[in-house]
Amino acid sequence: MQPIHGIVIAGGEGRRLANKDTDPHAPSKPFRQLNGKFLIRHVIDKITPQVDLLAINGSDPALSEFDLPLLSDLTDERRGPLEGLFAGLSALPSPALLLTVPTDTPFLPDNLVSILQQALTQTDAAAAITRSHNKDHPTVGLWRPEVLDALEDQLEAGHYSFMRFIDKIGAVRVDFGDDKPDPFFNINTPDDLAKAETLL
């Protein structure tokens, strides 16, 4: 069985949620509270039992309080969440697989990894990404280390679309159906946060 390493992508500013434009001292997205816990803590608690090693991708020194390895972006360019995938794959020891999850998805399934790993095994695809409610969620996925070269080529070409990348490598989509709450509901705005409070 291949070891599985996980990375929580926490490098985005989350300006819509944190209201940084009006309050520069507002907490960044990972540190917004949901039901008395940081958003990122919800994700860490969900994923830790499912992986062999968990790290955080982000540059905020405050992320060190979670006692997990911190992987910074490898460039100063703002290339979106693909940069987090690139950092994780670059640090991944072969032959481990890499799980990526964003910091704003508190309802992740307890069996996320096992389902994605089964999809990889059955299809021999380069990656397995999640889908629910008729929508792809490419930032929640399980990746083989062999995709690193293709990712580096795409980033160097200036293409930062996650959807473009999963289509390029032929990632398999794993449909989790229409369960409620949506296991991949992500929190981008204060309204999203308020809704999430009602779903816990």
- CATH number of the domain that residue 173 is part of: 3.90.550.10
Rounded average pLDDT over 134-163? 96
Task: Check residue 21 and give its pLDDT.
Answer: 60
Task: State which H helix or E strand residue 27 sits in.
Answer: none
Q: What pTM, to 2 d.p., does this model score?
A: 0.93
Between the CA of residue 127 and those of 52, 83, 119, 183, what are the distances in Å?
18, 17, 9, 19
- Domain count within the chain: 1
Using 50, 70 and 90 to split pLDDT, how confident is the model at 32?
very high
- Distance between CA atoms of residues 192 and 200, nearest Å: 13
Query: What are the pLDDT digits (tens) for 36-87?
Result: 999 999 999 999 999 999 999 998 899 999 999 999 887 766 678 999 999 9
Q: Which domain does 40 fall in, by range? A: 4-199
Rounded average pLDDT over 93-121? 96
- Distance between CA atoms of residues 111 and 122, nearest Å: 17
* Cβ proximity of 121 and 113 under 8 Å: no
Query: What are the pLDDT digits (tens) for 92-101?
Result: 998 999 999 9
pLDDT at 198 over 70: yes
